[in-house]
Chains A and B, each alone.
Chain A
Amino acid sequence: VTGKGVIDHDVVISSRLCLARNIADYPFVCTCSLEQLEEIEAVVRKRLGDLPGFAGVSFEVRPGATLQRQLLAELEAVSQSESPSQYFANDTTGSSEMQRSTSAIEINDEDHFRISVTRSDGDLMAAWQSASELDDQIEEHFPIAFNPKWGYLTTSPWIIA
């Protein structure tokens, strides 16, 4: 995944952890109007754009981005080059951390925020720590849809938690 080490293995294993979050006072993406999606994008740019690790990151309102493009964007992020469509915010600025993991936040795909952390060293606790820190930063700036009984509310009940 990182382009380091032995590169002719048939199988490459990495771990990916995702958290889905939605802004409490907007409908979910599938029922938002284009105007609302653009509004969310503008607010996200304004509130998260200057945070450490987010500076210079580009966000795009694009419901339905394909999995292939997401994966491509993440791999580009790992290799420290700019992703083709800049769907993602990469928050791993330290060079040694960059080699082991990449973190990203996708805006307005199936949920308002999709935080993902990919690691090549299998350290799931570290992946959770990174994802949870990004989650905390988002929560500082947005009310998050949550219900004490069901947890974090998502457009798909299959990933509610």
Chain B
Amino acid sequence: MNSVLANQISPLKQATEEMQDLDSRECPICGISFYEFRQGGRLGCPHDYVFFSEELEPLLHNVHGENEHVGKEPKRGFHDTESQTELIRLRREMKEAVEQENYEQASQLRDQIRTIANKGASE
């Protein structure tokens, strides 16, 4: 009897642990956790669509019935979330550099931001 119960409880325990691990994952860019997303239904930045892609894919398919965008696209700007993510990260680092009065680093970061932004504008 004990072994039967153990066989039934074990997968549940494993699923709970997996869910707890998933809930504690945090986006390195905006800091939102999967638990916060599950609770509020809102993502924190474009990178979340990449960071939580495995979990979001079935959800998005259920909601929209498709897994591929069709229709209008921006005529210019970034078409990859990596560049968007990089800009968000660089802006945050520049702000931190200014707060720490590290103006040389802030200046370098500003130049990096301009380079990426200009590249996006010309695409």
Contacts and interface: CB of A to CB of B under 8 A. Distances in A.
A24 B43 contact: no
Interface in A105-161: 110, 132, 135-136, 139, 142-151, 153, 155-158, 160-161
B78 interface: yes
The secondary structure that dominates the B interface is loop
B42 A143 contact: no
B59 A146 contact: no
Interface residues of B, number: 40
B87 A155 contact: no
Nearest to B60: A157
A120 to B, nearest CB: 25
Contact of B69 (A25, A156, A161): A161
A156 B63 CA distance: 12
Interface residues of A, number: 30
Contact of A25 (B68, B75, B117): B117
Interface stretch (B8-16, B17-25, B26-34, B103-111): B26-34
Nearest to A153: B46
A140 B76 CA distance: 8
A38 to B, nearest CB: 13
A28 B11 CA distance: 37
A27 interface: yes
A81 B6 CA distance: 70
A22 interface: yes
A144 to B, nearest CB: 5
A25 B33 CA distance: 20
Given A24-B78, A151-B71, A143 B121 contact: yes
A148 B84 CA distance: 13
B72 A145 contact: no
Interface of B: 29-32, 40-46, 49, 56, 59-60, 63-64, 67-69, 71-81, 83-84, 87-88, 91, 113, 117, 120-121
- A-B pairs, top 8 by smallest CB distance, nearest first, are A151-B69, A25-B87, A31-B44, A143-B77, A24-B84, A27-B45, A31-B30, A145-B46
Interface of A: 22, 24-28, 30-31, 110, 132, 135-136, 139, 142-151, 153, 155-158, 160-161
